Structure 1
Amino acid sequence: MSSVVGRIIAAFQSVAADIKSLRQIAPTCLVNFNGSGSTPTIRWGYNVASITKVSTGRYRVNFTTQMANINYVVAGSPTSAGLTDANGIVRARGGGMTVDYVEIVTGPGGVTSLSDYDTISVMIFGGR
């Protein structure tokens, strides 16, 4: 009987280690929102309290749960049916990464000019 209990305990410990490993690679924040207009509308989000529009093509993603540090990666993509260059890029604004929020900018190509998009998706990894 004790060998069965030992195997069960070992299996649970293995599962716990796997869950901890998965947590390290899982996104810490995900959001899809409409960035056109004066007030962004969140369609779906995880660990996102709100989106603040700072100015055209510049947004603040406010976290529900504070990050442990600013060592996180921001990735995303914008698209909009109404723009000639409908597919642009999303990047973190220099100096805009904090434990409470990240400021992102959106625009075509190399983001030399900022643009609003009606669909903006952002993923954040790290910050644990």
Structure 2
Amino acid sequence: MTDAINDNDEVLLRQIHPDFLQDGVPASNRFYPQTNDDGQMSVDRSSMTTAAASHALYVSSGKKSDAVFGVSVGEFGEHDVSVVPDPVEGTEEHPKNDAHALADYRDHSLSKQKVIGKRLKRKAMDRGKLHP
């Protein structure tokens, strides 16, 4: 298994679909994994890419994102959510992404994940929208 990212100051970038952004505010469910995510949530590492580049790569494969918000490794860690590198090799459907990582919520129940998501949304909102 890959070692967890341990730079607590590193900001992890999260894409927000337009359906989950209202008046510039992301839904809290964008900050915890969905049922098809196997308990892990995709993020990009700010130490390896920028919010603008992360957004451009994400939408280049036809996905939608109207905003990029960020949560630090330390903020995830406050809730016992580790983050591990998970580079994407690249396929026809998904472009290569060396900055990809996974926030691991598998040790938490769904109800706990929702609580964590609400708290991390507040941290992300405090930081402000990072792109565009």
Structure showing greater Rg: 1
Structure 1-normalised TM-score? 0.31
Q: Which has the higher helix share?
A: 2
Q: Which has the higher strand share?
A: 1
Highest relative contact order (Cα 8 Å, sep 6+), 1 or 2? 2
